[in-house]
Amino acid sequence: MIDIEELIRQSYELAPLPASTVRLAQMVSSPNCQLEDVIELIGFDQALTIRLLRAVNSTAEASAMTIVTAREAVLRLGTARVLALAVAGNAKPLLQASIPAYGLDEGALWRHSVAAAVAAEIAPTFCQIDIPSESFTAALLHDVGKLIMGRFISPEILGYIKQAEEVEHIGRLEAESLLLNVHHAELGGLIAQHWNLPPRVVQAITHHHHPSLGNDVVCDVTYLSNQVAKSIEAGLLGEELTLSVEPDVIGRLGLEEKSFGSFCRSAASRYQQVSLGYSAA
C-alpha cells in the first residue's frame, strides 16, 4: 500500500515559506502584535510589498486614491488579510496543481482555498464572538495535505477508498484513515508545522473536518469556511448544495442557523469581488 514514512518525508520536502512570512505569522498571532512592527517587516520585503499593493489596488479593494505604500496597504487590508495574502503568494503555485485522486483539475484546489479564506474573512460579520486572525490563514491552507496525499493514491487505492465509502458507508476522511493510517487533514497539519506556522493554524488544518477534536475557535471557523466554500463553488456551477453543518459549531461561533444562508450568499458575493486580489498574490 502506502509507505507512511515516505509520505511524511515528501510533506517535509515542500519548499519552506520565506522567513519574513513565517515571522509575519508569528507577529499576527501574538496578543502583543504591534501594527508598526508589521508595517516595518513588510516594508523590508519588496516582493511582499508589491504583492499587497497589487491586491489592495485591485477592483474589489481600490479606493479613489491609489495605495502606494506598505503602511497604507496594511491599514486598509488589516493584519489578518495581509497574512493570508502573504501566505497565498507562496502557496498558490502549489495549490494550482491538479490532483486527479481528489477529482480536482488544475486550479480547482486554489479556487476552493480562496473561497474558504473569504468565508473566514466575513465570518466576524455573522458570528457573535471574536474571530482570531489565524483563521484566515488556516482556512486558506486547510486542504494543503491533499497535495502530498494525491501523489500516493494510485487508481487501485482510490478504488479501495471508493469501495469503503459505498459499502461501509463511511466518509472519505475515515476511508483514508482506515486504509492509509493517515488522512489528508493530518498530513496538512504536518506541512503547516514544517512551515513553522502558528500552532492554532496547525491545529485547525489538522481538525478542519472534526473541529470538536481541536477544541479551539480557529478549528470551528476553518471547518465552517470549508463548508461555505463548497456552497460557493456549487453556486458558481449553477448548482444548489444543501450543507449539513455541525450544530455545535454553529452554537460555539454564535452563528444563528437562520442566518447561515445569508452567510453563504455574502461569502459568494465577496469571493467574486476579492478573487482577483488573491490571484494577484
At residue 237, the pLDDT reads 65
- 207 SS3 class: coil
**Spatial contact of 136 and 81, defined as CB atoms under 8 Å apart:** yes
Q: Which residue has the cell 486554489?
A: 110
Q: Tell me the CA end-to-end span of the chain in Å, nearest whole number.
A: 38
At residue 227, the pLDDT reads 93
At residue 219, the pLDDT reads 98
At residue 89, the pLDDT reads 85
Dig out the grid coordinates for 102 from the structure. Answer: 481528489
At residue 5, the pLDDT reads 81
Topology of domain 18-279 in CATH is Hypothetical protein af1432 (1.10.3210)
| 8/32 Cα distance (integer angstroms) | 34
Q: What is the pLDDT of residues 71-81, one digit of tens each?
A: 988 888 888 88
Neighbours of 64 (CB within 10 A): 4
**Residue 171 DSSP one-character state:** -
Neighbours of 169 (CB within 10 A): 8
Residues of the chain short of pLDDT 50, as ranges, are none
Where in the chain are the domains?
18-279
Angle at CA 197, nearest 5°, toward 192 and 203?
65
Distances in Å between the Cα of 259 and the Cα atoms of 50, 231, 245 are 37, 14, 13
Alpha helices by DSSP H, 57-144: 70-77, 79-95, 108-126, 134-141
Residue 99 backbone dihedrals phi, psi, to 5 degrees:
-135, 85
> CA nearest 144: which of 195, 181, 180, 103?
195
**Residue 129 DSSP one-character state:** S
Question: Which residues, at least 6 apart from 180, have a Cβ–Cβ distance to it below 8 Å?
Answer: 1, 2, 4, 149, 152, 157
* Helix pair 46-56, 70-77: axis angle to 10 deg: 50
**Spatial contact of 27 and 183, defined as CB atoms under 8 Å apart:** no
Q: Which residue has the cell 463548508?
A: 227
| 267/260 Cα distance (integer angstroms) | 10
